[in-house]
Amino acid sequence: MLAGVFCVRGRGGKGHDVGLLRLLLALSVLFDHTGGVPTPWGVYTIIGGPLAVECFFIISGFYMGLVLNERYDRPALTGAFYANRAIRIFSLYYLFLALYLAVFVAAQAGSGASPLWPYLTPTLPLHDKALLAALNFTVIGQDLPLWLRIDHGHLVWTIHAFHTGQLEVFHLMAIPMAWSLSLELCFYALAPWVARRPVWQIAALMGASLAARVGAAAMGYADDPFSYRFFPFELALFLAGVLAYRAWAAHRAVWDQPRMRLLALAVPLAILTYAPLTGSAPGNGFFAAPRVALLVLVACGLPAIHGWGRRKAWDRAVGELSYPLYLDQLLVFAMMSGLPVLAAHPGLRTLAVAAVSIALAYVVVRFVDARIEAVRARLAARAGAHAVLG
């Protein structure tokens, strides 16, 4: 269901991760996908997938504002910025895509049932299958299946792609939640031309995005996928993050003060207590007051979190797990959900999937991602990007 800025790393500088926050958001996605943990106030999914992904969009805006103003701080470095972002997104994505496909092939060969079956049956014409198969490799464009449905054996555009009673097109994506990476890539494409602009221009564009969302909601276009998967509306959240960076950059010493730690701590505390305080499971509606309040708190709290945590190695190490954790969770869930003891205890299943997914994410970070980061660091250095951020 989600996505986001699992893709920001701080290696090679003083550190620019909000690691604990990112891990909590990644676990929100996992808890949502696996059914959560039963509690006296309902099923606990932390803040749920939709709200977590929007928090990630804000974080992405903050760090793209930071890297484009302090590392890739001139137009000549835009190409290096794009290359570094592409390496970050695609390298681990393709690793996990290979793992997913290997498991799918094994399941198809063993039982005749797997997510590959729609490609092996006459569900759709060949050219539609080819398009959807290609989106698994391009990443960008993976949000398109959220606007498609199958009608009389063909793909047709729709704003009602979910709960149709038939095969939902986004399930033909090997890693269904990678739609959010497509939105992330759209923002990266725009970021060099936006993040260095004057504050009033960024705020004006953010206002236009919010106004478009309000206008669409007034006309009845407020539900999923408009609630958190439509890039023109989500752009406001990315830009809120950029403005949060500008607030930090303008008064760095203020955000480093001990009193700002209360604001920094308020954000993860609000995330952990969101469900019990609101009295219900998180919904998809953007304009729900608790949802808006949390998004505002995240945007306002990011400068304080960054000011406090950017020099903490443990926080960066925790944050590095978030992107592989996001990508591996459905694979781990699929492989573990058939275990009888876990099938009978949904809460235990969620916790077990979380533990194994984190362990797998650590292995990937330790043995794969570290080498990828070395390549990215060399690329940035050759381009003349600044080595120290924050």
More confident residue, 374 or 10: 374
DSSP characters for 187-228? HHHHHHHHTTS-HHHHHHHHHHHHHHHHHHHHTT--STTTTT
Percent of the residues in the chain that have a pLDDT greater than 90, as a whole number? 67
Query: Buried b vs exposed e over 333-366: b needs ≥16 C-beta within 10 Å?
Result: bbebeeeeebeeebbebbebbbebbbebbbebbe
| The pLDDT value given to residue 171 | 87
Please, which residues bridge with residue 23 across strands?
A: none
Q: What is the pTM of this model?
A: 0.92
Rounded to an integer, the average pLDDT of 7-26 is 66
Which residues are CB-neighbours of 112 under 8 A, at least 6 positions away? none
Cα–Cα distance measured from residue 329 to residue 3, given in angstroms and rounded to the nearest whole number: 12
| The pLDDT value given to residue 2 | 41
Angle between helices 78-111 and 370-383 (to 10 degrees): 160
As a whole number of Å, the CA-based R_g of the chain is 21
The answer, yes or no, to whether residue 11 has pLDDT greater than 70, is no
Tell me the pLDDT of the chain averaged across its residues: 89
The answer, yes or no, to whether residue 13 has pLDDT greater than 70, is no
DSSP characters for 316-385? HHHHTTHHHHHHHHHHHHHHHTT-HHHHT-HHHHHHHHHHHHHHHHHHHIIIIIHHHHHHHHHHHHHHT-
Closest CA to 229 of 31, 54, 35: 54
Please, which residues bridge with residue 149 across strands?
A: 156
Convert the pLDDT of each residue in 327-345 to its tens digit.
Answer: 999 999 999 988 888 888 8
132 class by beta-carbon count within 10 Å (0-12 exposed, 13-18 middle, 19+ buried): buried
Convert the pLDDT of each residue in 349-365 to its tens digit.
Answer: 999 999 999 999 999 99
Cα–Cα distance measured from residue 101 to residue 118, given in angstroms and rounded to the nearest whole number: 14
- Are 252 and 5 a contacting pair, CB within 8 Å? no
Convert the pLDDT of each residue in 232-287 to its tens digit.
Answer: 999 999 999 999 999 999 999 999 888 899 999 999 999 999 988 887 555 557 88
Q: Kindly report which listed range (8-17, 46-55, 138-147, 275-284) carries the lowest average pLDDT score.
A: 8-17
Cα–Cα distance measured from residue 44 to residue 354, given in angstroms and rounded to the nearest whole number: 14
Please, which residues bridge with residue 38 across strands?
A: 43
Rounded to an integer, the average pLDDT of 147-162 is 91
What stretches of 112-198 show up as alpha helix (H) in DSSP?
Answer: 117-120, 126-138, 179-194
Convert the pLDDT of each residue in 180-232 to its tens digit.
Answer: 999 999 999 999 999 999 999 999 999 999 999 999 999 999 998 999 999 99
Convert the pLDDT of each residue in 62-89 to its tens digit.
Answer: 999 999 999 998 899 999 999 999 999 9
The answer, yes or no, to whether residue 10 has pLDDT greater than 80, is no
Structure tokens at 226: 């408009």
DSSP characters for 11-58? TTSS----HHHHHHHHHHHHHHHHT-EEETTEEE-TT-HHHHHHHHHH
Cα–Cα distance measured from residue 174 to residue 170, given in angstroms and rounded to the nearest whole number: 9
More confident residue, 165 or 102: 102
- Neighbouring CB atoms inside 10 A of 63's CB total 23
Residue type, 42: G
The answer, yes or no, to whether residue 14 has pLDDT greater than 70, is no
Every domain of the chain and the residues it spans: 19-115+174-383
- Are 111 and 152 a contacting pair, CB within 8 Å? no
| The pLDDT value given to residue 15 | 43
| The pLDDT value given to residue 390 | 38
Rounded to an integer, the average pLDDT of 78-105 is 95
Cα–Cα distance measured from residue 223 to residue 112, given in angstroms and rounded to the nearest whole number: 36
Closest CA to 142 of 311, 284, 327: 327
Q: Is 112 helix (H, G, I), strand (E, B) or coil?
A: coil
Convert the pLDDT of each residue in 280-326 to its tens digit.
Answer: 555 557 888 999 999 999 999 999 999 886 667 777 888 899 999 99
Cα–Cα distance measured from residue 149 to residue 153, given in angstroms and rounded to the nearest whole number: 10
The answer, yes or no, to whether residue 369 has pLDDT greater than 70, is yes
